[in-house]
């Protein structure tokens, strides 16, 4: 389960939702795994205003991950301004190996400006979309209820007396 999910999860018990202590859920005994995923800059930029930054910082520190900056990055922080003078197209033809290699697709000149993700974007992508909890628990800070995570799936079914 990607860490981004925790931005949209809280306790399943109705009476907990009005309490600020129920968000975010706190990972406990968590096993982490990094699963590489494609970085979508437009996605990251649009999701940025939705992130509960202070809460995500708490989660990152509880999981022993590198600390997130104190203040959330701005949309502009996520991309590197594109170079003013594009490299001449002939450069590519001089280096046929680069064209053949799948990780270096030939650069196609177009009217659409392709933005390059900044290191900040790469780091944010790594924490939110590539870092996953595979096993462990998610604990409500209000009622203490523990939700198990198994094989990357969190289970929020409640025992009858808590529904």
Residues that bind other proteins (CB under 8 A): 1-2, 4-5, 8-14, 17, 23, 25, 37, 40, 42-47, 50, 129, 147, 151-158, 163
Q: Which of 13, 47, 98, 139 binds Zn ion (CB under 5 A)?
A: 13
Question: Is the Cβ of residue 68 or residue 132 nearer to other proteins in the bound state?
Answer: 132
**Residue 2 — φ and ψ, nearest 5°?**
-65, 145
151 binds, among other proteins, Zn ion, none (CB under 5 to 8 A by kind): other proteins
6, 16, 25, 129: residue in contact with Zn ion (rule CB under 5 A): 16
Cβ atoms of 31 and 152 closer than 8 Å = no
- C-beta of residue 132 within 8 angstroms of C-beta of residue 124: no
- Tokens 């009622």 belong to residue: 143
Least distance between other proteins and beta carbon 49 (Å): 9
Contacts of 19 (CB under 8 A, 6+ apart): 142
Choice between 4 and 138, CB closer to Zn ion: 138
Query: Residue 118 binds what, of Zn ion, other proteins, none (CB under 5 to 8 Å, by partner type)?
Result: none
Closest CB to other proteins among residues 42, 67: 42
Q: How far is the CB of 111 from Zn ion (least distance, A)?
A: 52
Tokens standing for residue 31:
């096993």
Name the helix (H) or strand (E) containing 31: strand 26-34
| Closest approach of other proteins to the CB of residue 3, in Å | 10
Q: Is 11 in the site for Zn ion (CB under 5 A)?
A: yes
Euclidean distance between CA atoms 87 and 107, whole angstroms: 10
DSSP for 70-98, written as a single string: SSPPPGGGGEEPPPSSPPPTHHHHT-HHH
Q: Which stretch binds Zn ion (CB under 5 A): 19-27, 66-74, 93-101, 124-132?
A: 19-27
């Amino acid at each position: 389960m990607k860490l981004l999910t925790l931005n949209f999860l809280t306790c399943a018990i109705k009476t907990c939702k009005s309490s600020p202590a129920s968000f975010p859920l706190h990972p406990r005994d968590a096993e982490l795994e990094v699963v590489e995923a494609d970085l979508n800059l437009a996605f990251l930029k649009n999701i940025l205003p939705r992130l509960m930054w202070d809460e995500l910082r708490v989660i990152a520190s509880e999981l022993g991950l590198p600390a997130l900056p104190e203040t959330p990055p701005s949309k502009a922080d996520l991309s590197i301004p594109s170079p003013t003078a594009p490299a001449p197209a002939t450069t590519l033809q001089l280096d046929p190996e680069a064209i053949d290699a799948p990780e270096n697709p030939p650069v196609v000149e177009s009217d659409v400006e392709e933005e390059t993700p900044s290191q900040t974007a790469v780091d944010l992508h790594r924490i939110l979309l590539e870092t996953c909890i595979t096993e462990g628990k998610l604990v409500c800070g209000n009622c203490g209820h523990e939700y198990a995570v198994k094989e990357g799936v969190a289970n929020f079914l409640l025992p009858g007396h808590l529904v």
